[in-house]
Amino acid sequence: MDWKSIIQDLCSLGLTQEQIAVEVGLKQPTIAGILSGAQKDMKWQNGERLRALHCRLAQQPNEGAHA
* Ranges of each domain in the chain: 3-58
Structure pTM?
0.83
For residue 5, CA distances in Å to 29, 34, 39, 64 come to 17, 10, 13, 24
Whether 64 shows a pLDDT value over 50: the answer reads: no
CA–CA distance, 6 with 53 (Å, rounded to integer): 10
Whether 20 shows a pLDDT value over 90: the answer reads: yes
pLDDT tens digits along 33-42: 999 999 988 9
Quick one: pLDDT at residue 49?
A: 97
Q: How confident is the model at residue 66 (pLDDT cuts 50, 70, 90)?
A: very low
CATH no. of 3-58: 1.10.260
